[in-house]
Structure 1
Amino acid sequence: MSNSASNSILNSGVLNINLPTQQRVLAVTTTRKSGYSIAPFNSFNLGDHVNDAEQKVSLNRQKLAQQLPQNCKIQWLNQVHGNEVVNVKAISATPLTADASYTDKENIALAVLTADCLPIFLVNYSGSEIAAIHGGWRPLAANIVANTVNLFKDSPENITAWLGPCIGEQAFEVGIEVKQTFENLAPSFSQAFVEHSDGKFLANLHLLATLQLQLLGINNISSLAECTYSDQDKYFSYRRDGQTGRMASVICLSA
């Protein structure tokens, strides 16, 4: 697995992700910096469901949209920690209830919101199919990665993946029931858990997603393995702060 995902800055608060595909695929992820929201959402909050001021969220989303090709419009999701994947053929002004989205249409930007969960991008090498996945432990345990890959017309060996910032393995404490849930999927997932204390385990979301991708035949995986919990200055973290904002990870096919 490569750790060479780009962190070049398109604009303050927006990071460009270099994927090994054709230039027509643009991918970005955001930090919490250089937005309009005030504490506890300071400042580049893109979530409209966290009780932030609607006007501030709108300004932040406008700023994000300015970093995309002019004709690309963002499709937002109503994320429910499930395993539903939507095939987006046209932009809906209303957020679609799902935790992943796929498209093979130009000028549709797929977005996922996170504040500890793992954002995942999938794109085929020819740059004609893309997907964005909200990789919390519940969606991962419910096979959302496989559900998303199944929508691709291209074969898994022709798909590359990118894993974004999320809560790191030193901070993500879970109960034994989470470990057992993954072990019931495949014994190999046990390596993503380290015993901590009092029946608790430290879980590695990046490793869980990587193992799932590899089992599906996807081996070209890059990452920006930064911990949202540990880096309070750069990232929102729900587990750390409770009431907080959301980052966005967005991928689109430009014409």
Structure 2
Amino acid sequence: MPSEAGLIPADWPEDWLRPHWAPDSGIAVKAFMSTRSGGVSQGPYASMNVGMAVRDDPAAVVENRARVERALGSRAVFLQQVHGAEVLLLQDQHVQPGAAVPVADASVSTTPGLAVAIQVADCLPVLFAAPGGVAGAHAGWRGLSLGVLENTVEALCKAVHCRPNQVQAWLGVCIGPQAFEVGAEVLAAFGQTASPQDSEFFRFQANAQGEPRWRADLAGLARQRLQKMELNYIGSAQGCSYSEPSRFFSYRRDSVCGRMVAAISLA
């Protein structure tokens, strides 16, 4: 796979994230994760909001999505994400005029010119590349606990007839463990007992009212699951969407905000 240099045109925002992949793997992809920079939206959606389900000007969102496609050199399929674990195999029909927005939290593409697009504003985007195919998953805690990453790797391997050890993954920016406060229901979803004892990915910290809460490491939970699948390579970005308001949208921080996109296509 290529290094991060040259994945998007030089005149695009310098702070867009460009994934690092394992060197000399021979897989050519275009991939990036956007930030707040580089779009035309205004107000709380400024400026690179790609979310059509928020109350942004639809014309601005259309233009922002068009900029994403120009950077990729491909048509991008944006999903109606529902915090589930369904994976969609992208087809040309998904980019035809008037096509319904597909409901899924992950997608796979084996077609050059047809790009995967994952929207986030605190949840973790994970991009995948394998010989002959790419994929992306929207991994909030619900989808992660339901197996969205495992389902995505399985679907990608099935689509391109490869094994998990031929798949590479890249974790984008999400809410960090210092900011991601969760309750006992989240621990239960990952099979952990709610207690004041810290565990590998959950640090106990009562809130201001003295109620039990935990700080969750979403990226760490995802990496653990990917490692169990014995992927070829797992890279990750640095940053916290909640803690960097000038750079990233964060639903937990702002409630009214835009959405960023992690996108990938076969070169």
Q: TM-score, normalised by structure 1?
A: 0.89
Q: 1:122 aligns with which of 121, 128, 139?
A: 128
Identify which range, 135-144 or 81-90, moves more after superposition.
81-90
1:163 aligns with 2:163: no
- Secondary structure at the aligned position of 1:170 is classed as coil
Give the C-alpha shift of residue 158 in structure 1: 1.2
TM superposition shift of 1:15:
3.4
* Structure 1 residue 6: Cα displacement: 4.3
> What's 1:193 paired with?
202
Cα deviation code 1:134-186 (max 9, x no counterpart)? 011100000011111111121111111100000000000000120121026xx
Write the mapping of 1:63-142 to structure 2, written as runs, cut at 5 A.
Answer: 63-69=67-73, 72-93=74-95, 94-124=100-130, 126=131, 128-142=132-146
Q: Supply the distance in 2 between the matched residues of 1:139 and 1:7 (Cα, whole angstroms).
A: 31
- 1:106 offset after TM fit, Å? 1.7
CA contact 1:73–1:91 (8 Å) conserved in 2: no
One-letter amino acid of the structure 1 residue matched with residue 186 of structure 2? V
Q: What is the aligned partner in structure 1 of residue 188 from structure 2?
A: 180
> Aligned pair count?
242
What secondary structure sits across from 1:64 in the alignment? helix
Partners in 1 of 2:27 and 2:133 — Cα distance? 13
Is 1:212 matched with 2:214?
no
1:91 shift after superposition: 4.5
Per-residue deviation at 1:104? 1.7
151-160 or 15-24, which deviates more: 15-24
Q: CA deviation at 1:17?
A: 2.3
Residue type of the alignment partner of 2:85: N
- Provide the secondary structure at the position in 2 that maps to 1:214: helix
Deviations 1:56-78, CA, capped at 9 Å, x for gaps: 11111122222112xx2101100
Q: CA RMSD in A?
A: 1.9
Point out the structure with the larger strand share.
1
> Is the CA contact 1:106–1:253 (under 8 Å) kept in the aligned structure 2?
yes
Segments of 5+ residues of structure 2 without an aligned counterpart are: 193-197
Question: How far apart, in 2, do the equivalents of 1:227 and 1:23 lie?
Answer: 29
Letter in 1 for 2:51: G
Residue type of the alignment partner of 2:64 = N
Could you tell me which amino acid in structure 1 is paired with residue 21 of structure 2?
Answer: L
